[in-house]
Chains A and B, each alone.
Chain A
Amino acid sequence: MSTTSLLLLALCLAFVSFIFGRQKAYAVARAHGGTRALHSLPGHYGLMVGLWCALPALAIIIGWKIFEGPIVSSLLDSSIPQAIHDKGDKAVELYKNEINNLAASGKISEESDAAKVGAANRLNSVRSYSAIALMIFSLAVAVIGAALAYRKIKTDTQARPIVEGIVRFFLVASASIAILTTVGILFSVLFESARFFQQVSIVEFVTGTKWSPQTAIRADQAGSSGSFGAIPLFLGTLLISLIAMLVAVPFGLMSAIYLAEYASPRTRAIVKPLLEILAGIPTVVYGFFAALTVAPLIRKLGESIGLSVSSESALAAGMVMGIMIIPFVSSLSDDVITAVPQAMRDGSSGLGATKSETVRKVVFPAALPGIVGGVLLAASRAIGETMIVVMAAGLAANLTINPLEAVTTVTVQIVTLLTGDQEFDSAKTLAAFALGLMLFITTLILNVIALHVVRKYREQYD
């Protein structure tokens, strides 16, 4: 029986026990003169029985599935002949894979090694025993749990507090998943980065100016030992993000000012959602647009005035990224501008200032901290943006700040290092995690500062 059907069966059992529990609660109530005699509602008794049925069984199924793999694997290990162990870990791995494949396909050809066939058969029988044992064990626990809870149904059983306690535990657990995710991200990038920094010194990584992550496939291969100086990537990321911000900030800010201060409510109601469409378009679409429409256009324009422009110029990727970020800047700035108290505008108008003077000299300075926060958030988005640069920026790490040349970014390198088949332990793939760590830290710092600034600013006018 597959795990899915086992889970479904357990859930069905839980539902049946819910019905039985509720029935018994009604019966108990009738004996004592109506449901008022019960401590909790009949449904709570049903839920209690259902939860007692489902939860232990689910815990067993999940625990079993987590530990089954490693235990079976170690059993397999012990059955591998010593001769193969002597050949090293790779040979053991290969041998295990062969047995696994043999066990999965069930095809036993004549040339198969008898020892391997035996191991594969044992593997299959261990697995089927494990599945049967799991089924019997978990279903037995489900029935026993339900029966125990069923017997406990009396007028004074505190079913509601029990059920609510369990539900509350789940609510807390769900809220804690956010923390688990952060911890998971941190550990996964930190752990792999640490392994990377054992092979490549952290100083070389942060200060080196040459990035060519090709490591030798064979130990005796000449030349390509790989160099991991990430400065060109950082510079490329900065350059493209800077271009993006140069596009996004003026357009976004002026749109926000116009919408908040000048536009009629009707215009605002139409234009604001239209601008927000820009933020809803998938980034892969922007990437396609940048690579196929904008980059050739810039190239042609450049050539017509005698400039040589790379077909993967930083300018194209940065500009399109800037367009994508316009709505972030505009909606965040819009929020802070509208939060500036009307009294400040009235005071300025009362002194004879024109509307634009009020905006420039009163509203803008008052909203500045919030706007800066918004711009920082937008910058962190630009730095972490992946698809546009993967599709429109270059792969080669050039150390340049010329926006007409091709540069590469941190995110592009993460994608190129990790897509395709390669060994997971090579410095090349681990480097991607080190870059991910840098990216995570940078964006985290930007976000924390931005959120702090925005929150401070909100408190000021509340």
Chain B
Amino acid sequence: MTEQTTQKPQADKPASAPKKDTTALVRATLARRYAAEKRFRIYGIVAIAASLSFLAVLLVSIFIKGWPAFTHTFVKLNVTLDADTLDIGPNPSSAELRAANFASVIKKSMREKFPDVKKRKEKKALYSLISTGGEYQLHDMIKADPSLVGKTIDVWLPADDELAAVIKSGADLSKPENIVTRMNEQQLGFAKILKEAGDTKTGFNKTFFTAGDSREPEQAGIRAALVGSALTLLVTFLLSFPIAVAAAIYLEEFAPQNRWTDLVEVNINNLAAVPSIVFGLLGLAVFINYFHLPRSAPIVGGIVLSLMTLPTIIIASRAALKAVPPSIREAGRGLGASDQQVVWHHVLPLAMPGILTGTIIGLAQALGETAPLLMIGMVAFIVDIPGGFTDAATVLPVQVFLWADSPERGFVEKTSAAIMVLLAFLILMNAVAVLLRKKFERRW
């Protein structure tokens, strides 16, 4: 805009109105407009920063809560494994061993450690410092080495959940009034003595990875849920991968342009947006009530999840197939290959990295899914590690849900730790997907 044009007198303006030149007008509002521009930019930055800080808060809060669950506190006790207290004979059978009275052995050694404790109530407070998991540990030790019977040994036994929480928090035990715990003052006193004598140590919590669910937080583990997740995911993969690839090949390479194809495509797009819980209703009504497949079983969970992930994998596979240039197909046909030979020998191998990436992302989605599995009864309390596709099982996200519902304080850290394991698997799967894409992606 030049000075001259703006200064030209304009015929259609009434002569009485003061002449205003546009440049001045623009200049007058420019500061305001620039301020608005700046504000707009800041809104954008604030929106992104806020979203990312939500993410950070979420992850950090879970990390802080969950980290202690990977360690556990153990208490050193000098136990005498005499056959009389254990109430077992000389070569105990395994049934006899299971029924043996390990609790009294532990109690006895604790009484020896704190000889001043005489009152019933005090004793009870003392005994509750050691987790019942200690009994299982002694059982396993004797089972592995029967010659231990009659000997006196030093063992590290898992502490009760509340004691472990206090020791792990590193709280100053000489100021019991500052500690938030369900333990009473007396128990805190025992804890102080134990800690000062060096009879407590904090180590890696193996139980968390080797045990199934339990009512006691310190004995609860994620092994059963992990195995359940693996079985369910295996079924999902075995069903959804071949079906989705076949569907994608048909729709992308062979489907004629007609109503049926349109219907299929619209259906796939809609299924991708159907709430997951509706798939759970389908599983309940069809597979459990109609076909009478077992409730809570990985096979049913896998079928339901594969129906749910099918659209994701189909859509990704179609995109991968579409990215293979037509010249490949034409070259194949030119050499006399049939349509299917072109697809199986040339197009599909070239599209495979993309298809696998989509499959992994779909499976990661299935791994984190909870709601449909609640519908088909995978919310059971599972202590045993599931051994097959028809055993009752639970999966990792459902285990998180179950523990999150539990009123015991100790389960909060277990829940967070289980979430950390779940997130670790998801990150791993997504990292593999990204790597696959980076390594094999071809731009034509």
Binding site for B on A (CB under 8 A): 69, 160, 164, 167-168, 170-179, 181-182, 184-185, 188-189, 191-192, 250-255, 257-259, 262, 271, 274-275, 277-278, 280-289, 291-293, 323, 326-327, 330, 352, 354-357, 359-360, 377, 380-381, 383-387, 390-391, 411, 414-415, 418-419, 424, 432-433, 436, 439-440, 443-444, 447-448, 451
Contact = CB atoms under 8 A, between A and B. Distances in A.
Contacts of A292: 65, 404, 412
Interface string B286-315: 100100100000000000000100110010
B380 to A, nearest CB: 10
A356 B374 CA distance: 47
Contacts of B65: 292
B251 interface: yes
Contact of A175 (B62, B247, B277, B281): B247
A411 to B, nearest CB: 6
Contacts of A184: 282, 286
Interface residues of B, number: 88
B98 to A, nearest CB: 22
Given A285-B400, A323-B54, A179 B263 contact: yes
A181 B282 CA distance: 9
Interface string B130-174: 000000000000000000000000000000000000000000000
Interface stretch (B12-20, B31-39, B209-217): B31-39
Interface string B1-22: 1000000000000000000000
Contacts of B37: 354-357
A191 B374 contact: no
Contact of B278 (A280, A384, A387): A384
B52 A275 contact: yes
Contacts of A381: 273, 275
Contacts of B264: 175-176, 178-179
B275 A383 contact: yes
Given A177-B310, A184-B282, A274-B55, A439 B370 contact: no
Interface string B402-422: 001100000010011001001
B209 to A, nearest CB: 20
Contacts of A181: 267, 271, 282, 307, 310
Contact of A255 (B44, B267, B415, B430): B44
Question: What 10 A-B pairs come out closest when comparing CB atoms?
Answer: A384-B275, A258-B44, A282-B368, A188-B285, A254-B47, A174-B246, A356-B40, A171-B250, A386-B371, A175-B247
Contacts of B247: 171, 174-175, 177-178
Nearest to B275: A384
B29 to A, nearest CB: 11
B6 to A, nearest CB: 13
Pick from A181, A253, A288 the residue with the most CB of B within 10 Å: A288
A435 B20 CA distance: 66
Given A439-B277, A443-B273, A443-B275, 6 more contacts: A164-B339, A274-B52, A291-B404, A352-B26, A354-B33, A418-B374
Contacts of A250: 47
Contacts of B44: 254-255, 257-259, 262
B292 A69 contact: yes
B61 interface: yes
B47 A258 contact: yes
Contacts of B57: 293
A384 B379 CA distance: 20
A447 B404 contact: no
Given A185-B274, A251-B51, A381-B273, A282 B250 contact: no
Contacts of A330: 51
Of B247, B255, B367, the most chain A CB neighbours within 10 A belong to B247
A444 B246 contact: no
B193 interface: no
A436 B397 contact: no
B333 interface: no
A271 B250 contact: no
Given A258-B48, A415-B371, A451-B270, A288 B404 contact: yes
B408 to A, nearest CB: 14
Contacts of A282: 367-370, 397, 400, 422, 426
A170 B62 contact: no
A252 B46 CA distance: 11
A440 B274 contact: yes
A286 B62 CA distance: 10
B93 interface: no
Interface in B373-396: 374-375, 377, 379
Given A175-B264, A188-B281, A282-B397, A359 B275 contact: no
Contacts of B278: 185, 189, 384, 436, 439-440, 443
Given A280-B364, A282-B426, A182 B271 contact: yes
B249 A171 contact: yes
A284 B338 contact: no
Given A178-B267, A258-B44, A387-B401, A185 B279 contact: yes
B60 to A, nearest CB: 10
Given A175-B255, A175-B264, A391 B246 contact: no
Nearest to A192: B285
Contacts of B270: 182, 444, 447-448, 451
A458 to B, nearest CB: 13
Nearest to A253: B47
B45 interface: yes
A443 B33 CA distance: 42
B281 A432 contact: yes
A356 B339 CA distance: 52
User: Which among A164, A185, A391 has the greatest number of chain B C-beta atoms within 10 A?
Assistant: A185
A250 B266 CA distance: 30
A399 to B, nearest CB: 23
Nearest to B279: A185
B43 interface: yes
15 contacts: A178-B267, A178-B310, A181-B307, A181-B310, A188-B282, A189-B285, A252-B51, A283-B371, A284-B370, A284-B419, A293-B61, A323-B58, A384-B276, A384-B278, A436-B278
